[in-house]
Structure 1
Amino acid sequence: MLPFWRLSGYYFAYFAFIGAFAPYFTLYLQSLAFSATDIAILMSLMQLMRIIAPNLWGWLSERTGVRMPIVRVSALASLLGFCLFFVTSDFFGVFVAMALMSFFWSAALPLVESTTFNHLGGEGHRYGTIRSWGSAGFIVAVLLIGYALDHLPVSSLLWMSTLILATILLCAVWVPEAGRPVEARLPASLATTLRQPHIQALFGACFFMSAAHGALYVFYSIYLVENGYGKSLVGWMWTLGVLSEIVVFLLMPRMARRFSMRSVLLFAFAAAVVRFVMIGWGVGSLPILVVAQLLHGATFGAYHAAAITLVNRWFPGRLQASGQALYGSLSFGAGGMIGGLLSGFTWDSIGAAWTFTIGSGFALIGLVWLIRGLLEPRED
């Protein structure tokens, strides 16, 4: 029997932590008087661990034959690592706490995703229903914490985040293990697959798309608050982006029947070029910021749905796990880390507007790479 609510509860809690951490933790770091460069370095540890941890923990899962016990250990370890924030406020101590928390926290989601699909079996079409609870968790957390921080000190974020991490641990204990599917015969080696030009174009473009979002994920909340917007409005702006993403996810099956995945990706990258220029130079206009956030449905929702579809298509059989790991590591990991670090160095030196413009430039590079390398016939 499918443990629908157990899986949905885990996704709700997991993405609720992202809703607490991603928009607001930079405000906490700023309250500790860290520089923009310090904040970028600390936040980039999350992306760095997304390069290292999933592959390491995935290898351990393959060796031991289990997933959920590893997820439970990682949930406990990430909770303990986060608790170090309560006892340190200097850069070195916060660096260690961030590294430990990120290393174990990054291990969980790929293993839970695999567990979910194994529980679903032939009902893979129900994944979206389960995953949507993660988006709901993000929205609930980002809104409630945004309003709370209008009345509470920003340090209270530590207690709220700790509660969510404890909930993740409880949900991880609640989710049962699932059997593994029968492995299919490999049609090609991983090395042969990676040498194909359309694969290289896709992964290269994905790297630059995540780099384009670097300033957004590190400095967007700080940017809004410094320009006079309240923390509750910050929460609504993040929520607006996630809502647009949900709408796009729901529309993707219909869009896929009308447009090729290449066309969807090209539109998403073009939207990113426009979006980050709008954020950088239009911060004084709330309507411009609202439109820019609505474009998140394209720059993340449509982009991610199309990219992951192509990865599943081009990495068949047992290569799918390797393809998904590489996609996450090269894009959200390496690309996000480079984009976040660079934004930390440019934020104070050339200003926020030009920092976001650099992000627009990254998206443009990805767009050109796609146009030249991701040829339509290779999609089929």
Structure 2
Amino acid sequence: MTPARWLALFFALYYFGYGTFLPYWALWLGDAGAGAGLVGLLLGLGMAVRCAGILGIMGRVRSARHLLPVMQGLSVLSLLAFMAFYGWQSTVGLLVLTLAVNLVYPALIPLSEAMASRYIVQIRLDYGKARLWGSAAFIAANLAVGMLNEYGGSQWILHSMVMSLALLILLTLLQPRPAPAEQPAGRGGDSIMRVLQRPGVGRFLLITALLQGSHAFYYGFSALYWQQQGYSTTVIGYLWGLGVLAEIMIFALDRKWLAQLTARVLLAAGLLCALCRWLMLGATTELIWLVLAQLLHAGSFGLSHLGAVRFISRELDEAAVFGAQALYASIALGMVSGILLMLSGQLYPGLGGHTFWLMAALVLPVAWLLARPLSEEQQAR
């Protein structure tokens, strides 16, 4: 199987599961007997463990030949952990299994992104075209599992997770050809600490943490806010779907229209879109403006993510790819977003939708951080 097809299938299967897990897992926990306080505790602890798991696992992956076996092992462990929920739904069981799931399941994404980054260099992979299938599967899961849950009960949430992981395991048994190439002269990857000490990496992580973290209030509270403003759950679902469709479009155009842009330019465009989006959402809930704001998800998330991938795959050497992916996934997409999500929960009762304006203020320092090139190579030009 070609690497492009293999990665497209991997992203589709993983994000179908994640499109089930992210919006519906709290509902399944509630139906399994967890009260609101316990659900919040489980989700918060899960976020903390997720960061530790990604750093711990990615910190030990130093070679291209390790990628597929580790992905296969994590897929098996994830399946076993989710299957255990069928029979262990006591408070202790939910706690232990939630920690186990978050320790292994989220680490599959930085591993697949690291493989994609390797193939971008090795075979000029069209990353956007492969990644858009993950976004499409995310929408499909939102719709399909939502209907299954409504008509068949919340156990379909767990069934869907198990089925997606079973298919993911089958995929990892297939070897993409050519396999990810080793680095020249057999050099192993740098440790996470060595990658963190490279010029520009710390600034890159701060930039991406602010850009991606600014989505925390949107992810956690936009549906609740819009519902309180009188919108039906159907309309809210369409709005969320529109945002992901815009993201798909930007990924589809990556090779044709965006390939020549540097990480710095993509991140700057992501900043502009995020600033406009959060200001707009904080100012009004008129439907036409909500639609326009959701279209800006193509930039606030899509361009920002492509900028991160561009920096890791083009502006760092191959020894830094695994460590940089681990740092990006655990800090920018994990820890900072989790902290801001919890902070948003404290601010929302008093500020309501005006919390979006704080998200806009959050991204303003990115303009200063992007004032000079991220990498030494660009600085020298």
Q: What's the TM-score, normalizing by structure 1?
A: 0.81
- Which letter maps to 1:111? L
Once structures 1 and 2 are overlaid, which stretch shifts more, 304-313 or 170-179? 170-179
Aligned 1:1-380 pairs, distance under 5 A: 2=2, 5-28=5-28, 34-35=35-36, 41-45=41-45, 47-62=47-62, 66-86=66-86, 93-115=93-115, 122-149=122-149, 151=151, 153-154=153-154, 156-175=156-175, 179-184=179-184, 194=196, 198-253=200-255, 255-256=257-258, 260-283=262-285, 285-348=286-349, 350-371=350-371, 378=379
Query: Structure 2: which amino acid aligns with 1:162?
Result: V
Contact 2:2 2:176 (C-alpha < 8 Å) held by counterparts? no
Do the aligned partners of residues 217 and 34 (structure 1) sit closer, same or farther apart at CA in structure 2, a change above 3 Å counting?
Answer: farther
Structure 1 residues 94 and 340, CA gap change in structure 2 (3 angstroms):
farther
- Which stretch of the first structure deviates more once superposed, 367-376 or 155-164? 367-376
Deviations 1:249-295 (A, max 9, x none): 23334554776543332231132123234334534x33222222111
Mapped to 2, the partners of 1:226 and 1:369 lie a distance apart of 37
Shift of 1:244: 0.9
Q: Give how far 1:14 is off.
A: 0.5
- Is the alpha carbon distance of 1:57 and 1:25 closer, same or farther for their aligned partners in structure 2, counting shifts above 3 Å? same
Find the aligned partners of 2:375 and 2:272 in 1 and give their Cα distance. 17
CA contact (8 A) 2:4 2:125 kept: no
Tell me, yes or no, if the aligned pair for 2:118 and 2:318 is still in contact at 8 Å: no
In 2: Cα distance, 1:351 partner to 1:93 partner: 36
Q: Secondary structure at the match of 2:66?
A: coil
The structural deviation recorded for 1:316 is 1.0
Cα 1:13–1:379 change in 2 (3 A) is farther
- Report the CA distance shift for 1:229/1:155 in structure 2 as closer, same or farther (over 3 A): farther
CA contact (8 A) 2:131 2:251 kept: no
- 1-structure distance, mates of 2:380, 2:346: 38
| Aligned partners of 2:74 and 2:104 also within 8 Å | yes
- d(CA) in 1 for partners of 2:83, 2:229: 31
Q: Quick one: distance in 1 between partners of 2:211 and 2:247? A: 16
- For 1:61 and 1:375, the matched residues in 2 are separated by 24
Counterpart AA for 1:209? L
**Corresponding residue pairs, total:** 376
How far has the Cα of 1:245 moved from its partner? 1.2
Q: Percent of pairs identical after alignment?
A: 26
What is the CA distance between 1:199 and its match in structure 2? 3.5
Distance 1:140 1:119, change over 3 A: same
The 3 A distance-change label for structure 1 pair 47 and 297 is farther
SS of the residue aligned with 2:240? helix
Deviation at 1:139, TM superposition (A): 2.2
| Alignment-mate amino acid for residue 72 of structure 2 | R
**What are structure 2's unaligned runs of at least 5 residues?**
none
